[in-house]
Structure 1
Amino acid sequence: MSNKNTGSMYAENILLLGAGFTKNFGGLLASEMWAEIFNNEKIQAQPRIKKLMLNNFDYESVYYSVLEGLEDKESLLPTLKFKRKEKDAIQEATKAAYDTIDETLLRRLRKYPEIEWIHNTDTLFFNFGNTKNKSFIFTLNQDLFIERFYQNPLEPRDPTKIYILRLCIPGIDKYPVWYMNRDSFYDFIPFSTDEEREQFYNLKKEDYYLLPNEDVLNSRKENLLKKESYFLIKLHGSYNWISSNGSKSMVIGRGKTEQINNEPLLRFYFDTFKEVLSQDKRRLLVIGYGFGDEHINSVISNAVKNHGLKIYILSPESPKSFKEKLCDGCGKSKDIINIWNGVSGYFQCVEDVLLKDTYGNQSEKEHFYNVFFGKNNWKL
């Protein structure tokens, strides 16, 4: 992709989400994913994977080592070549962990509209989409939180809404019936029984999407960002996507750059990420990402150094603790140093912005919106 004459097309404000974002609503952090996978009966039936996991608490590293048969330096174990049944076990256990996340989200969705925080997430996404330029939510998460909880307007560019743009996932042509339409659970689709209502959101075979191969994507690439203006970019794939070669497409473990390069749509997404952040004087809000992915950090670092990117972090941790974790084990990484030096705003008011009842004290939320979006440039 070329960034010539495209800067004015892109909105100034950009959102980047990591696992810590969904954790607020029932998702799992890396350590919790490790436990969920380790406890799975399929893993417990595989002694070599158990031993590997007991010596390495990075579930992504374990996943990659089992599938690729590479030496796992973290575990201090010799190179192992895993059998097909062992590879199946780690894949099935990992999918089951994502099943657990999705079921947790569904339990909350079934309580809508009583969910206190639903207006807060809407407000955040609305304000990123409330622009005439092309706007982006980049996420490293493979869960379906946004797809299940976000409420798109029923009609495109509905002038009665707080915003004018519909959020879409470029390159994905087939959406589930419930896609970004949580109200359908209650009054959009008539249900005959409670069981029918309960089953509405469960993933079905037709809800899994086969990604386009190289030829198909090349024939459509020029138009992927032209039809709409508000985009959800899932940089590491999605829980309900199938790779263009028929395998699972989630980018898990080491070698993420190689995995992305091997999947045409994900490669396009990563190029888009670089393109958007390479515009001058953009503002990036980061929620729930601990800067643990080198390929992501490299892009952000370059944008800070060469394009004046300003970084704003929303995290419950103190700035000191966040910085200590950020720099732990990174040595003198230039990317990490650039990223930290690029921080222009730090907020610990996660509960006020995302979780608290809308009708409570909103002073912390308003302060956050004033600093990031600018006074009078946002709506609650």
Structure 2
Amino acid sequence: MIPHILLTGAGFSYNWGGYLASEAFEYLLGVTENDEDLRKVLWADQNRGFEATLARLRKEFEENYTPQVEQDLRNMTTAVRRMFGDMWLAFSQSKFDEAFEDPRLGVIRFLTRFDAIFTLNQDTLLEAHYLPVVTDTDFAKNTYQGPRNVGAYRPGLVPAMDTLTFGSLAARIPLFRASDDFSPTRNLQPYYKLHGSIDIKDGRDMMLILGGNKEADIGKHPLLESYHAQFEWWLNMPMARLMVIGYSFADAHINRVIFNAIEKRGLKLFLVGPDGAKTIDSNPALPLNPRQQVKDAIVGASRRSIRNTLSGRDMVELMKIERFFHDGRMAITRIPAL
């Protein structure tokens, strides 16, 4: 069996209204209207994004503590949580997929084609629209797969018997916590959130990895360490193929795993995003600047909306994505001689 793995970033959720980093900055301006001090900090980091603001506030809190810095950090953290909460509320009221007669079409059909799904997102889009509804009949359509999955789940989590309340509507997000067992379950497609999630409780806080010291912060959470170990294990499987949707390659610790798997194990990549193959171009601004071997691993790319493509309204692009699952081989029909 050839492993097919999916990694999603903010650009994936963007198809259903999720915020990109630049839009997050604008959202945070709106919910900090009466906090002049925090707004100054946000504007100072506008070009670097809201995570840079969090990283700077955390560093100042640890190294140059003042009551104002503590207040700014608390207000910023609260505003970010509210942003994810509003996204959760919006996702719960939005349409994720459509009913299609053609078995090749649909977002759920597409997601079931992967052996494992990893995400850098902390929103709950798939928790609302994929995990609760996908069944064995959806997975059964993928005749090329090996052992048949019967559903999808989030490894290592159990209900926390608690909720997160936010917003004027007092919306409540059901919360989870890390269990004592992180091991995968047979015949269930694993969904790993590499940077935590708005709905994972860690003591009194949420397990959210944000800011500029992500690798060190991940090391504080055994659950997330196990997720990253799984990410590395899957990418280093023989003949593994990774599709990346909506990730800008801005996290050095994620890039390191991908690039090492390419150079040592021959991992193949398919990139989906507005910049297509240029997403991973030789850009000095990207952590771990990719070498030619990494570029040679790209077996395809798409610049078009993945949601529109999977609906069948862009069949040309859908056929391109189909080749990823058929390992790049083209079917040839031979016409016998008369």
**TM-score normalised over the length of structure 2:** 0.80
Which residue of 1 is the match for residue 210 of structure 2?
Answer: 252
Deviations 1:235-281 (A, max 9, x none): 011111111x3322110011111111101111110111111112232
Identical-pair percentage: 22
Q: Are the equivalent residues in 2 in contact too, given 1:327–1:336 (CA < 8 A)?
A: no
Of residues 282, 307, 331, the one that matches 1:354 is 307
Mapped partners of 1:13, 1:229: distance in 2: 15
Of residues 227, 232, 237, the one that matches 2:191 is 232
Q: Residue 342 in 1 paired to residue 287 in 2?
A: no
Which residue of 2 is the match for residue 209 of structure 1?
Answer: 176
Mapped partners of 1:337, 1:46: distance in 2: 47
Q: Secondary structure at the match of 1:363?
A: helix
Change (3 A) 1:61 1:336: farther
Of residues 12, 37, 62, the one that matches 2:3 is 12
Q: Which has the higher strand share?
A: 2
Q: Which has the higher helix share?
A: 1
Mapped partners of 2:21, 2:297: distance in 1: 26
* Long gaps (5+) in structure 1: 1-7, 72-77, 129-134, 177-198
Q: Residue 100 in 1 paired to residue 100 in 2?
A: no
Change (3 A) 1:60 1:39: same
Which residue of 2 is the match for residue 38 of structure 1?
Answer: 29
Across the aligned residues of Structure 1 and Structure 2, the Cα RMSD in angstroms comes to 3.3
Q: CA deviation at 1:362?
A: 2.2
Matched letter for residue 18 of structure 1: G
Q: CA deviation at 1:51?
A: 2.0
Mapped partners of 1:45, 1:69: distance in 2: 22
Q: Residue 169 in 1 paired to residue 154 in 2?
A: yes
Q: CA deviation at 1:100?
A: 2.4
Change (3 A) 1:86 1:28: same
Q: Residue 147 in 1 paired to residue 127 in 2?
A: yes
Which residue of 2 is the match for residue 313 of structure 1?
Answer: 271
Q: Are the equivalent residues in 1 in contact too, given 2:158–2:177 (CA < 8 A)?
A: no
Q: Residue 87 in 1 paired to residue 73 in 2?
A: yes
Q: CA deviation at 1:345?
A: 1.4
Mapped partners of 2:86, 2:291: distance in 1: 33
Which residue of 2 is the match for residue 61 of structure 1?
Answer: 52
- Count of residue pairs the alignment pairs up: 311
Change (3 A) 1:280 1:70: farther
Q: Secondary structure at the match of 1:101?
A: helix
Mapped partners of 1:304, 1:143: distance in 2: 29
Q: Are the equivalent residues in 1 in contact too, given 2:97–2:107 (CA < 8 A)?
A: no
Change (3 A) 1:357 1:18: closer
* Long gaps (5+) in structure 2: 143-147, 162-168, 332-338
Of residues 27, 40, 47, the one that matches 1:51 is 40
Change (3 A) 1:373 1:316: farther
Of residues 120, 130, 136, the one that matches 2:116 is 136
Deviations 1:168-207 (A, max 9, x none): 000112399xxxxxxxxxxxxxxxxxxxxxx9xx9536x1
